[in-house]
């Protein structure tokens, strides 16, 4: 492949950085459910999280092709980009729909890493995937909005300066289309915690710094609104395509991690007087994982190229996420099986990566919802909801 397209220099630098963060670093954090501060600090300092921000705002303006190179390498090295990936793409809503003043004020700070915009608040406990039924409401009162409601699974809220918040500004019953009447705000978290916003961490099967948010008459200055009131749902949609493509690239990295580890182990582990990798019963699942990850990778690249060309890519982004998350999960299972009992030992890092890669069939969008999109939008099957 062409040097520029594969971003081989970026890949090399990410690999070098990741060697400073071996399995022992991640295992200790995983046990304590602590945030990988030093890893994120170094990624930020190296400029890897600003690859999507245009140069005029201090980023490198390289696009998703570079973003997928960064995240794939992080994951292939056994690290986890989930701690910081949102710093790459959450700013897209601000970049595409923010005012000139908001962009000039905030984007250079985000690009430099002085301002962390890596919390994205959409999901709510009662609405689930049906985003049009969110209940969090922002009521205009003079030069402020008063926010009430609740969000769940909002990751990195405790490690972010700003939260991109989706809230209703008009009741669902009062709008023509259910997707109308929602708005996007940039909430200053330091200004808000304890003054109407409570953040409560949720302990999960992975170390993901995810939280619940409770809004109780939180006052947000009116100039924190992005774009026009009521258009928020549309604004977050194109950001979601970037998110799905980037997360798919993390799955590709995970898949390659599992294949690398399984191949190495199958070559060296000797049972019945020969390497286990000589047995086709062991070889074939590794080969199948490689086939599946390679196929998914092509779809990720296709989706990223469409996104970077400014062309519609919703279906490709969804298909890339589905294929990549299923390929990484197959590879994870294969890797545990190849390692036998050692697949369960913490010190091999496989059980940790196995848990981590399982997330991607649920978040940021679950497999069924992708299949529903393909069935109804691509194949013209009747809508089920």
Show which residues are catalytic.
243
CA 17 to each of CA 21, 98, 204, 247: distance values in angstroms, whole numbers, following the listed order: 8, 33, 27, 20
Does 208 interact with ligand FAD (rule: CB under 6 A)?
Answer: yes
Q: Distance between CA atoms of 279 and 182, rounded to whole angstroms?
A: 57
Place of tokens 């086709």: 280
DSSP state of 376: I
Does 362 interact with ligand FAD (rule: CB under 6 A)?
Answer: yes
Q: Distance between CA atoms of 209 and 158, rounded to whole angstroms?
A: 8
CB of 331: closest distance to ligand FAD in angstroms?
20
Does 374 interact with ligand FAD (rule: CB under 6 A)?
Answer: no
Does 8 interact with ligand FAD (rule: CB under 6 A)?
Answer: no
- Return the number of the residue (47 or 364) whose C-beta is nearest ligand FAD: 364
- Return the number of the residue (10 or 165) whose C-beta is nearest ligand FAD: 165
Does 235 interact with ligand FAD (rule: CB under 6 A)?
Answer: no
Q: Are strands 162-168 and 117-121 parallel, antiparallel or unpaired?
A: parallel
> What is the contact mask toward ligand FAD in residues 236 to 275, using x (rule: CB under 6 A)?
----------------------------------------
Helix-helix angle 314-339:350-358, to 10 degrees: 150
Does 193 interact with ligand FAD (rule: CB under 6 A)?
Answer: no
- Return the number of the residue (128 or 340) whose C-beta is nearest ligand FAD: 128
Q: Distance between CA atoms of 150 and 173, rounded to whole angstroms?
A: 19
The single residue among 6, 8, 99, 129 that binds ligand FAD, judged by CB under 6 A, is 129
CB of 57: closest distance to ligand FAD in angstroms?
23
Q: How distant is the alpha carbon of residue 4 from its chain centre? A: 24
Instruction: Check if the beta carbon of residue 86 is closer than 8 Å to that of residue 156.
Output: yes
Place of tokens 């279906």: 315
Q: Distance between CA atoms of 135 and 123, rounded to whole angstroms?
A: 10
CA 351 to each of CA 85, 277, 339, 370, 382: distance values in angstroms, whole numbers, following the listed order: 22, 20, 10, 27, 40
The single residue among 210, 241, 325, 338 that binds ligand FAD, judged by CB under 6 A, is 210
The single residue among 155, 207, 241, 338 that binds ligand FAD, judged by CB under 6 A, is 155
CB of 271: closest distance to ligand FAD in angstroms?
37
Does 159 interact with ligand FAD (rule: CB under 6 A)?
Answer: no
Q: Return residues touching ligand FAD (CB under 6 A).
A: 120-123, 128-129, 153-155, 204, 208, 210, 359, 362-366, 368-369, 372, 385
């Amino acid at each position: 492949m062409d040097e520029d397209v594969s971003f081989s220099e970026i890949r090399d630098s990410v690999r070098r950085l990741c060697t400073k963060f071996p399995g022992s670093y991640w295992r200790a954090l995983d046990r304590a459910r602590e945030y990988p501060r030093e890893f994120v600090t170094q990624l930020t300092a190296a400029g890897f999280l600003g690859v999507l921000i245009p140069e005029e705002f201090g980023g490198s303006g390289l696009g998703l092709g570079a973003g997928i190179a960064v995240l794939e390498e992080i994951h292939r090295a056994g690290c986890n980009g989930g701690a910081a990936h949102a710093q790459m793409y959450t700013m897209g809503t601000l970049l595409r729909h923010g005012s000139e003043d908001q962009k000039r004020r905030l984007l250079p700070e985000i690009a430099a890493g002085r301002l962390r915009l890596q919390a994205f608040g959409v999901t709510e406990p009662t609405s689930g995937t049906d985003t049009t039924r969110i209940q969090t409401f922002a009521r205009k009162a003079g030069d402020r909005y008063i926010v009430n409601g609740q969000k769940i699974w909002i990751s990195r809220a405790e490690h972010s300066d700003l939260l991109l918040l989706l809230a209703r500004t008009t009741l669902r019953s009062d709008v023509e289309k259910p997707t109308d009447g929602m708005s996007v705000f940039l909430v200053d978290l330091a200004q808000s915690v304890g003054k109407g916003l409570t953040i409560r961490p949720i302990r999960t099967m992975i170390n993901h710094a995810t939280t619940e948010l409770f809004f109780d008459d939180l006052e947000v200055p009116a100039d924190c609104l992005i774009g026009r009131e009521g258009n928020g749902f549309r604004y977050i949609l194109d950001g979601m395509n970037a998110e799905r493509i980037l997360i798919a690239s993390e799955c590709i990295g995970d898949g390659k991690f599992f294949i690398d580890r399984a191949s190495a182990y199958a070559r060296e582990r000797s049972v019945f007087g020969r390497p286990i990798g000589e047995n086709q019963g062991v070889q074939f699942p590794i080969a199948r994982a490689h086939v599946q990850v390679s196929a998914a990778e092509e779809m990720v690249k296709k989706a990223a190229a469409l996104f970077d060309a400014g062309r519609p890519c919703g279906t490709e982004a969804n298909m890339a996420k589905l294929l990549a998350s299923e390929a990484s999960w197959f590879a994870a299972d294969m890797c545990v099986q190849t390692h036998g009992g050692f697949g369960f030992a913490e010190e091999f890092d496989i059980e940790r990566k196995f848990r981590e890669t399982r997330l991607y069939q649920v978040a940021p969008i679950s497999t069924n919802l992708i299949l529903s999109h393909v069935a109804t939008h691509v194949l013209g099957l009747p809508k089920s909801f």
